[in-house]
Amino acid sequence: MADLRTSLVAADYVDPAVYAAEVEHVLAGSWLPVCRADQITEPGDRFAITLCGRPVIATRTTDAGVRVIANVCAHRGSRLVDDGPGHDSTLVCPYHRWSYRPDGSFIGAPLADGADLNGVCLPELRSVEWQGFVLVNLSGNAPDPRAELRALDAHLAPWRWDELVTLDTRTFVSEWNWKVMVENWVECYHHLGTHRNTVEPFMPARQTDIIPNDGAPWVAMTVDTLEDAVADPARWIPGLTREHARELSIWAVFPLLLGGSSARHAFWLQVVPIDVTHHLVIWYLLGHRDHLAHFTRQAIAEDMDQFTVVHQEDMTICRAVQEGLASGFIKQSRLTPLEATISDFQRWVRSRG
């Protein structure tokens, strides 16, 4: 039997001081997703996002490498580009037109004769690529994550995550603590209630199988899919066996990378904390690069609409959970065996504090 003792209390979801400490010790000190590498394939491609109040940009440089640099001009601190995708051979500050290359090196500044421009550049942050994701460590001192994720690599291998490409995205504004969102994702027990009419009939909670993680900073599980709900084999991710085609795979890399896949596509959620009770959730739909013909505009829209229905169900219940945690009537959660993944996550969060 898994250890189901929890380490977080209700105050950890509602106290601004707790959130401020988490920003520094839990979030900035860990590896956070910036984007998928397939979103920045050509030199000059970029993807900007603000993580823990730090604006960053993932760029594809002229040497075909990927870098993550500060999205803050070295002159007066202005943000260089808005969050989201973009492309340009240079990064030009909108304030005074100071310009930089995609690798962060300085090009020049107008009317700046006599100014001290020695060493001007956009700082580079530590980044790695894993399973097609670009991850950044804001503190600069986290150990390389790839060794701790090897067992998860083995679990994800059938779905070929490093060969998947981004098809579409939708953003949702959340009004609850970021940990409520993560905990909702990492258990399928709530299929019984929250998704009783949408997911549970096809992927029942009782069919959940939790993958052993040996204390590593990730969790994963599979849920058997009823045979009638499995996609046409011609549309399966290449190489997928019937056994894996019948599985819904759900996983998370702590703290903020949430992923999942089924027979024909995959998806991931980027959680972007804003404050103690607000964050963004950015849904991404992925397909295999050899099967893009199957993903017509209509098919993609239908998939995203289905995700939206399910996510709106999650949003309703997560809002209710946040209200309950703020009420003072519950001090600490009581977990079932199907929520052992939450216990793993909570212990990991507490260990970072």
User: Tens digit of pLDDT for each residue in 166-202?
Assistant: 999 999 999 999 999 999 999 999 999 999 999 999 9
Q: Are 91 and 57 in contact (CB under 8 A)?
A: yes
Across the range 87-113, mean pLDDT stands at 96
What pLDDT, on the 0 to 100 scale, is given for residue 1? 40
Task: For residue 205, give the H/E element and its range.
Answer: none
Q: Which two tokens stand for residue 221?
A: 């599980």
Q: Are 152 and 162 in contact (CB under 8 A)?
A: no
Task: For residue 179, give the H/E element and its range.
Answer: helix 178-185
What pLDDT, on the 0 to 100 scale, is given for residue 3? 63
The pLDDT mean for the chain works out to: 95
Which class does domain 1-30+146-353 fall in? alpha beta
pLDDT band of 219, cuts 50, 70, 90: very high
Radius of gyration of the chain (CA): 21
Q: Are 188 and 223 in contact (CB under 8 A)?
A: yes
Q: How far apart are CA 78 and CA 65, in angstroms?
A: 25
What pLDDT, on the 0 to 100 scale, is given for residue 2? 53
Whether the pLDDT of residue 289 is over 80: the answer is yes
Per the DSSP assignment, residues forming a β-bridge with 164 are: 288
Across the range 42-65, mean pLDDT stands at 94
Across the range 143-167, mean pLDDT stands at 96
Q: Quick: pLDDT tens for 230-284.
A: 778 889 999 999 999 999 999 999 999 999 999 999 999 999 999 999 999 999 9
CB-based burial of residue 166 (10 Å sphere; 0-12 exposed, 13-18 middle, 19+ buried)?
A: middle
CB-based burial of residue 83 (10 Å sphere; 0-12 exposed, 13-18 middle, 19+ buried)?
A: middle
Across the range 321-341, mean pLDDT stands at 93
What pLDDT, on the 0 to 100 scale, is given for residue 40? 97
Task: For residue 107, give the H/E element and its range.
Answer: strand 106-108
What pLDDT, on the 0 to 100 scale, is given for residue 133? 98
> Given the structure tokens 């039997």, which residue do they identify?
1
pLDDT band of 304, cuts 50, 70, 90: very high
What pLDDT, on the 0 to 100 scale, is given for residue 107? 97
What pLDDT, on the 0 to 100 scale, is given for residue 158? 97
124-130 and 133-137: which strand pairing? Answer: antiparallel
Q: Which two tokens stand for residue 141?
A: 């001192």
Whether the pLDDT of residue 339 is over 70: the answer is yes
Sign of the C-alpha dihedral, residues 302, 34, 181, 15? negative
Q: Are 254 and 287 in contact (CB under 8 A)?
A: no
What pLDDT, on the 0 to 100 scale, is given for residue 68? 98
What pLDDT, on the 0 to 100 scale, is given for residue 73? 98
**What are the structural domain ranges in the chain?**
1-30+146-353, 34-141
pLDDT band of 64, cuts 50, 70, 90: confident
Considering only CA atoms, which of 253, 252, 180, 219 is closest in space to residue 12?
A: 180
Which of the two residues, 184 and 334, has the higher pLDDT score?
184
Is CATH 2.102.10.10 correct for 34-141? yes
Across the range 25-38, mean pLDDT stands at 97
